[in-house]
Amino acid sequence: MPRANRMLRILSLFDLTRPVLTPELLMTELGVSRASVYRDLGQLTQAGLIERVAERGYALGSTIVELDRQIRLGDPLLNAADTLLKKLADDSGGIVLLCRVHGSKVMCIHQVRGRNATLPVSYERGRAMPLYRGATSKIILANLPSSALKTLWTREKNALVKAGWPTTLAAFVEALAALRAQHYCISQGEVDPDALGMAVALHDGGKLLGSLSVVLPATGTSALAHRNVLAHLQSTARRIEARLEDERMKARSDTRARNSKPGNTAGSKVASKTSAKKKTPKAGKA
């Protein structure tokens, strides 16, 4: 395993059951020598990604906290959604979740609670959740490309079937196609027993980013209220996507403007290639 991949693997081994890792454990997990493990630990420590915890081992370092702050302040999706999420939470009275695709899982990157929203929810910032339970995850699952669905099916068929999905790949893909065509997902009690979730997918120029959802109490809310919340949810998602589109178009326009300035190297190269393709007309015979 290349050294860079090995260091990434070390970072991925930290979880709630193992907040502190020892060199001995890493030697076993990675199958490498003590010297190799200590070299990797030294480099990660120098970068602030991990830190020594007395004699117990190594824990995640302060650079992780710094990067988390950078994400909260600079994530384009969060910036596009920020004020809209608060309004959706206030108007619906529910808990609004903004989630991203995270490999074969779903990661909540922001949560906003509406008025009197005391319902506990499992989706919290930074917690990876499976793709196959609850509206928040299932609407993302429905929008994944077929190749990703086949890979997921091969790797996690038993878990998918246990979660209530069909027992064959063809039926699984068909069920997801119907959900994708519906453009939203509603589920009840699949993740948290007393919760009802509504979710829609979020895209940026055709790329699946994640989902936007509202979580409400499973009882005590009328069907009309549910329809109104769903309509507001869909409208908010479209506005977030429109803001992302505006930012993308602005960035493209800025790039073109920079490239068109006199003396710009990149622009000059493009112009040179274009002019080189033009053939000089041959002089006619006298």
CA distance 238 to 242: 6
Q: At what angle do helices 169-182 and 135-142 cross, to 10 degrees?
A: 100
pLDDT band at 268 (very low <50, low <70, confident <90, very high): low
Give CA–CA dist 223/228, Å, rounded. 9
Task: Round to whole Å and give the CA distance between 23 and 5.
Answer: 17
Among candidate residues 114, 99, 123, the one with its CA nearest the CA of residue 208: 99
Is the separation of the CB atoms in 1 and 9 below 8 Å?
yes
| pTM (predicted TM-score) | 0.82
In the chain, what are the domain boundaries? Answer: 3-65, 75-247
The pLDDT score that the predictor gives to residue 58 is 97
Q: What is the average per-residue pLDDT within 95-105?
A: 94
Collapse the DSSP code of 148 into the 3-class scheme (helix H, G, I; strand E, B; otherwise coil) and give the result. Answer: helix
Q: Distances in Å between the alpha carbon of 56 and those of 19, 24, 39, 156?
A: 11, 11, 18, 35
DSSP one-letter code for 285: P
User: Which of the two residues, 258 and 9, has the higher pLDDT score?
Assistant: 9
Distances (CA, A) of 137 to 4, 10, 123, 165, 215: 31, 27, 10, 13, 13
DSSP 118: -
pLDDT at residue 277 above 90? no
Q: Do domains 3-65 and 75-247 have the same CATH topology?
A: no
Residue-averaged pLDDT of the chain: 90
* pLDDT greater than 80 at residue 271: no
The total of other beta-carbon atoms located within 10 Å of residue 230's CB is: 17
Q: Would the pLDDT of 54 be above 60?
A: yes
pLDDT at 265: 58
- For the stretch 63-80, pLDDT in tens is 999 999 999 898 999 999
* CATH numeric code, 3-65: 1.10.10.10
Domain 75-247 class in CATH = alpha beta
